Amino acid sequence: MKVYLDCHACIVRQALEAARLATDDEQVHARVMKAVMARLMDLSPEHTPIHVARETQLAIREAGGGDDPYAEVKREYNRRALEMVPVLQSHIDAHPNRLAAAVKLAIAGNIMDFGATGGIFDLEEAIDSALASDLDAETLDTFRRQVENARLILYLGDNTGEIVFDRLLVEEIHRFSNAEVVFAVRSHPVLNDATPADAEEVGLPDVARVIGNGSDAPGTVLDWCSDELRQLFATADVIISKGQGNYESLSGTKGPIYFLLQAKCEVVGRDLGVPKGTTVLRAQTPEAIRKAAG
């Protein structure tokens, strides 16, 4: 997905929020903002929003001394999501289509995005809205059949808190598929995105092989990822791409990719052709995926 002018304003907002999380020192805030705006001026309009966001986060870390300003936010998001597991599991158990419920809930968890929402969101409302939404039936059916026949599934994770919802989807996948599931998270802290330590905190290693993707970007830019991640991406039978950051960086990339996300801003909604707030299950290349699923 290309970067839009709207993205620059969002990035500047995120930078100021991160600086204020890190310190009360207004001189540091000013230093962060100057560094961020200087980087924005040097970026090509051909870059994705993730290129812009990564440069911004680098500027924040340099100006703020290298600490992770989102550390406490991430712990809080994981805690909140873990407390909801019994309710989330009850929704799946009671639903006539367990996979559909698990997919919808995984997408609902994508609302836990400090970068896009500034930490202002209603998780319960997101769950109710997602469960009431209508996913494309053909895409969901093809997704089920490809997952069922897969040997290797690469799951590209996104945010802390959200990864608890992802864990429930992985558990549901294991009910009808013998595929190995590899769950990739960011190797280094960025925004409230999940790292291996965050994944460990919510028990993801109990249901999938967890790896860092080798990158510190809030998305999956393959050129910045490890050889291991790129090899898995090239050989996976199914790639589950969670969240806006992964959509922004992988939209248009070839592969058996299913995007699961909430369209949390007008720009992403416009790129997807859906209203802001829509629960999205989208195949990257629908025709090729349907053919492969047989």
CATH classification of the domain holding 92: 3.40.50.10880
Integer Cα distance of 91 and 162 in angstroms: 16
What's the domain count of the chain?
Answer: 2
Clarify whether residues 97 and 31 are in a common domain: no
Assess whether pLDDT exceeds 60 at residue 292: no
**Which pLDDT tens digit goes with each residue over 11-66?**
788 778 777 776 777 887 888 788 777 777 766 666 676 776 776 667 666 665 65
- Determine the structural domain holding residue 58 and report its residue range: 5-64
Report the mean per-residue pLDDT for the chain.
88
Radius of gyration of the chain, Cα coordinates, nearest whole angstrom: 18
pLDDT band at 143; cut points 50, 70, 90: very high
> In the 8-state DSSP scheme, what is residue 49?
H
Closest CA to 101 of 91, 110, 87, 111: 91
Q: What is the pLDDT of residues 236-280, one digit of tens each?
A: 999 999 999 999 999 989 999 999 999 988 888 988 999 999 999
Global confidence as pTM: 0.88
User: Phi and psi for 244 in degrees, rounded to 5?
Assistant: -65, -40
Q: Which residue has the higher pLDDT, 285 or 156?
A: 156
Task: Count the Cβ atoms, other than its own, within 10 Å of residue 65.
Answer: 9
Mean pLDDT to the nearest integer, 98-114:
94
Burial of 136 by CB count in 10 Å (0-12 exposed, 13-18 middle, 19+ buried)?
middle
Is it the case that residue 103 has pLDDT exceeding 60? yes
Give the percent of the chain with pLDDT over 70: 86
Shared-domain flag, residues 33 and 175? no
Domain stop point among 22, 45, 64 = 64
Q: Is residue 174 domain-shared with residue 49, that is, in the same domain?
A: no
Residues 80 and 50 in one domain: no
Same domain as 142, residue 127: yes
For residue 69, is pLDDT > 80? Answer: no
Same domain, 22 and 121: no
Q: Do 139 and 275 share a structural domain?
A: yes
* Range list of H helices, the chain: 5-22, 26-42, 49-64, 71-83, 85-94, 98-108, 114-117, 123-132, 137-149, 162-176, 196-201, 227-235, 243-250, 266-272, 286-293
